[in-house]
Amino acid sequence: MKLSVAIPGSALSDESLKIDKTRKISVLARACAIFKIDTIYVYQEGTNKSEGGFMVMILKYLETPQFLRRRLFPIMNDLKFSGVLHPLKIPSHNTPVNAKKIMAGDIREGIVVSQKGKKFVDVGINQLIQYYGDTSNGKRVTVRFKEGYPRLSVKDIDKSQIPTYWGYSVKERANLFSILSEWKGNIIITSRKGKPVSSEQLSKYTKSDEPTLVVFGSPERGVHEIIGGRMNKVQNAKSLNFFPNQATETVRLEEALLGTLAILNAQSTS
């Protein structure tokens, strides 16, 4: 089952301090990595548009291998509390190794650099590898080694060709309706107004070859309130309640994300 999620940037509005907002994004990123989320869509909702951009930046920072972060992310105030972020430790976050340990078939993330008019890729080993692909200087690239040490030649590879989970991508959208109207596949709307979730209902998604988008509302408004009268224009959408008989007044986004994805994961492996 190929899963993506849509979450609101306004989910940070219930945290007053930037360090707490940073911690919350870290929990969201970890949940998405644990359950192999393909794409995280962050949609604008509410009046504070900057929080969506902050969430996108931290999510991208966390997904980037540590040895590439200094080159791809300049020093900025938004990363002031990056020390509280928990590492994802996904397969793409290979730690730097000695070049002699590289074998044909190894896949690594790197950054394209230029030296003396030629392009190379830095993949976190103790030497640069000549690069003949189309990615421009300063950009991140995924490569597979055609030959191991000592020849060390690489070629570009698409994430879809990698047999293991390689990380999520992050996309920002101006509003939720634009995501739902463009989505090609199944849509699960998480809502306390939805039908209580059941194994029978979930089997439709876990056994489907179509990608599934799981949509979450904001602290102030649920998905139905956000979409309003345009809900009947959303295709292939089903509202489900993953927390029936909840004892708390609300379920926070980080709780809803972990709980919902855990239920979907359990159903897909049963």
- Out of 161, 185, 209, pick the residue that ends a domain: 161
- Out of 109, 130, 161, pick the residue that ends a domain: 161
Beta carbons of 185 and 212 less than 8 angstroms apart:
yes
- Out of 125, 146, 161, pick the residue that ends a domain: 161
**Per-residue pLDDT at 269:** 80
The pLDDT confidence band at residue 60, using thresholds 50, 70 and 90, is: very high
Going by DSSP bridges, is the β-strand pair 212-215/140-147 parallel, antiparallel, or unpaired? unpaired
Average pLDDT over residues 152-175: 95
Are 50 and 146 members of one domain? no
For residue 94, tell me if it sits in a domain.
no
Are 53 and 141 members of one domain? no
Are 212 and 265 members of one domain? yes
**Per-residue pLDDT at 17:** 96
pLDDT at 268 over 80: yes
CA-closest candidate to residue 71, choices 126, 158, 140, 128: 140
pLDDT in tens, 67-96: 999 999 999 999 999 999 999 999 999 887
Are 68 and 25 members of one domain? yes
CATH number at residue 108: 2.40.50.140
For residue 54, tell me if it sits in a domain.
yes
Are 215 and 265 members of one domain? yes
Are 248 and 190 members of one domain? yes
Q: In this structure, which amino acid lies at residue 203?
A: S
- N-term to C-term CA, the chain: 13
Are 50 and 117 members of one domain? no
pLDDT at 174 over 80: yes
**Per-residue pLDDT at 108:** 96
Cis peptide before 150 (omega within 30 of 0): yes
CA-closest candidate to residue 37, choices 143, 141, 159: 159
Of residues 122 and 230, more confidence is placed in 122
The helix-helix angle for 253-269 and 199-206 (nearest 10°) equals 80
The pLDDT confidence band at residue 236, using thresholds 50, 70 and 90, is: confident
The pLDDT confidence band at residue 50, using thresholds 50, 70 and 90, is: confident
DSSP the chain: --EEEEEEGGGGGG--SHHHHHHHHHHHHHHHHHTT-SEEEEE--SS-THHHHHHHHHHHHHHS-HHHHHHHS---GGGTTGGGPPP---TT-PPPB-GGG--TT-EEEEEEEEETTEEEEE-SBSS-EE--SSPPTT-EEEEEEEE-TTT-EEEE--GGG-SS----EEEEES-HHHHHHH--SEEEEEEEEEEEP-HHHHHHHHT-SS-EEEE---SS--HHHHHGGGGGG--SEEEEESSTT-SSS---HHHHHHHHHHHHHHHHH-
For residue 136, tell me if it sits in a domain.
yes
**Per-residue pLDDT at 220:** 87
Q: In this structure, which amino acid lies at residue 131?
A: Y
pLDDT in tens, 107-120: 999 999 999 899 99
CATH number at residue 54: 3.40.1280.10
Q: What gap in Å lies between CA 230 and CA 227, rounded to an integer?
A: 6
**Per-residue pLDDT at 95:** 83
Number of domains in the chain: 2
Are 84 and 132 members of one domain? no
The helix-helix angle for 50-63 and 18-34 (nearest 10°) equals 50
Are 253 and 205 members of one domain? yes
For residue 56, tell me if it sits in a domain.
yes
Q: What is the mean pLDDT of the chain?
A: 93
Range of the domain at 242: 3-89+168-269
> Bridge partners of 119?
114
Are 187 and 240 members of one domain? yes
For residue 191, tell me if it sits in a domain.
yes
**Per-residue pLDDT at 67:** 92
Are 173 and 265 members of one domain? yes
Residue with tokens 């392009």: 119
For residue 227, tell me if it sits in a domain.
yes
Are 249 and 128 members of one domain? no
Going by DSSP bridges, is the β-strand pair 39-43/3-8 parallel, antiparallel, or unpaired? parallel
How far, rounded to the nearest angstrom, does the alpha carbon of residue 250 sit from its chain's CA centroid? 24
For residue 152, tell me if it sits in a domain.
yes
* Length of the chain (residues): 270
For residue 116, tell me if it sits in a domain.
yes
